[in-house]
Amino acid sequence: MQPDPRDYEIRIWYSAEKGDECFIAQVVEWPGIMAHGATREEAARQIQLALEGALEVAAEEGIKPPAPALAPRLVSSSLVTTR
């Protein structure tokens, strides 16, 4: 099963470096996936597209992508009663 792109943690910051002056977005669990935009919203849209593309390629190539840190995890629990 392919991970859901919405479960990955994304960091977005502003780069004021001369020549950049844009928002940069990066997938925390997959640092090589980065995108940028003139606004925070544009950078967020672009990183989602880049991540979706990377997940598609990984699936086509049979490569296991990094597990998303924010993915829901199945937790096993049991009820213990005491008297």
- At 37, list the tokens: 């935009």
Please determine, for residue 83, whether its predicted confidence score (pLDDT) is greater than 60: no
The string of pLDDT tens digits covering residues 8-62 is: 999 999 999 998 899 999 999 999 999 999 999 999 999 999 999 999 999 999 9
Q: What is the pLDDT of residue 50?
A: 98
Contacts of 8 by beta carbon, 8 Å cutoff, 6+ apart:
27, 28, 29, 30, 51, 68, 69, 70
pTM assigned to the model = 0.79
